[in-house]
Amino acid sequence: MNCKLYLAIVSAALTLVIAAPASAQQAVPTAASGVQEMRASRVFPLKGDPRAATPPVISSISLCPDGLTFATGGDDHVVRIWNLNDGTLVRELRGHSDWVRAVVYNPKSHVLATGADDHSILYWDAANGQKLKKLAGPSQVVYSLTFSQDGKTLAAAGFDAKVRLFDGATGAPVRELVGPCPDIRAVAFSPDGKLLAASGRDGRVRIWDYQTGEVLHDINAHRQRVRALAFSADGGQLASGGEDRFLRLWNPQTGVELLSVSSRPGKIQSLLYIGQDRLASGTSDNRIHIWDLKAGKEEARLLGHTGSVSSLDFQSVTGTLISSSFDTSVRIWNPPSADGKVVEQNLNRTTR
């Protein structure tokens, strides 16, 4: 792999930014905090729509289960599928008429679900670009989508107070749950599919028993809007974050707080576990923060975005973290592992 570093310049083209391999990727502690900072990257310019005045803001990103491609959605109403290895555009999916807020792959298939400001949820066959179905139900902006880990259920939420559940394969409505507030910005399944969490404008996190629909906990988690939720791999932790600039961990079975740390100065836009006790947060200060949850402190800081980090996804086999931003770019990183080492990328054999 060519290790030459390029400077990322935001221009009238959408760019994919791929982090350099370990030998070139700088990961050095800052003098003041001891937090590793990583910023070296390679840049692959990708042609955007020549008719557009500016490249599209990217609001959501999702890695395909085959590890070969990823999907993005943004404010130009278009869903795009990209080659993860070289950043080339594979295809465009056109069907929404407004800002695409959420894109997510079914973890067990090539079905891609997308939600938008046009009040619609669409199912696509991402392998061939065919639109499979428009799902019934939403009457407001669709802001958050997530599949259960077994791929059997899709949860959707947005600017009303409902969490809607659909069959992960057919898109048929399954049930509706009343959320903690209008304007729900985050929804998440526990890995075993037994719990469902949602949160939004009023800062409360509601946790349901998914099988029965019973509300288990209403946690007064934050003082302002929550924008991100994430369960740990074993389901024993639920992370929440948002506009009050605090990252908090909860025991989802008891509702007890496990940890609270400040993410200042940035508001938390996205959260993702990258190990049992390691969490990545994307923030409005254009950074990705890697947290050691056992120690309760930040261990690494990924620098380079020039806009809020809107979405994150992760490949556990290779340790590859992918991020999207309002700066119209996508970046692929290899954050340090639990032992502090940076694992060299091998994008040619990634699986999820």
78-86 long-range Cβ contacts below 8 angstroms, 24+ apart = 78/49, 79/103, 79/112, 79/114, 79/124, 81/126, 81/129, 82/16, 82/46, 82/330, 84/322, 84/332, 84/347, 84/350, 85/347, 85/348, 86/44
Q: How far apart are CA 242 and CA 258, in angstroms?
A: 17
Please report the pLDDT score of residue 32 as a whole number: 52
Whether residue 100 contacts residue 60, with contact meaning beta carbons closer than 8 Å, is answered with yes
> Would you tell me how many other CB atoms lie within 10 Å of the CB of residue 286?
17
Express as a percent the part of the chain with pLDDT over 90.
Answer: 71
Q: By the 8 A CB rule, do 155 and 189 touch?
A: yes
Q: What is the pLDDT of residues 27-42, one digit of tens each?
A: 544 545 689 998 635 4
Looking only at Cα atoms, what is the longest distance across the chain? 55
* Angstrom distances, CA of residue 258 to CA of 27, 218, 219, 246, 310: 29, 16, 13, 13, 25
Beta bridge partners of 89: 82
How far apart, in Å, do the first and last CA atoms of the chain sit?
Answer: 22
The C-alpha atoms of residue 292 and residue 241 are separated, in whole angstroms, by 16
pLDDT at 317: 85
Question: Each residue of 273-293: pLDDT tens digit?
Answer: 999 899 999 999 999 999 999
Tokens 């807020």 sit on residue = 101
Q: What residues contact 179, with CB distance under 8 A and at least 6 apart? A: 157, 161, 162, 163, 198, 200, 206
Which residues are paired to 278 by β-bridges? Answer: 275, 292
**pTM for this prediction:** 0.88
pLDDT in tens, 151-200: 999 999 999 999 999 999 999 999 999 999 999 999 999 999 999 999 99
C-alpha 120/C-alpha 123 separation (Å) is: 10
Contact 231, 241 (CB under 8 A): no
* Three-state DSSP state, 307: coil
**For residue 101, which amino acid is it?**
R
Give the whole-angstrom CA distance, residue 53 versus residue 151: 38
Beta-bridge partner residues of 43: 17
pLDDT value, residue 52: 73
- How many Å apart are CA 48 and CA 43, to the nearest integer? 15
Summarised one tens digit per residue, pLDDT across range 283-337 is 999 999 999 999 999 999 999 999 999 999 998 888 889 999 998 889 988 887 7
pLDDT tens digits along 69-92: 999 999 999 999 999 888 899 999
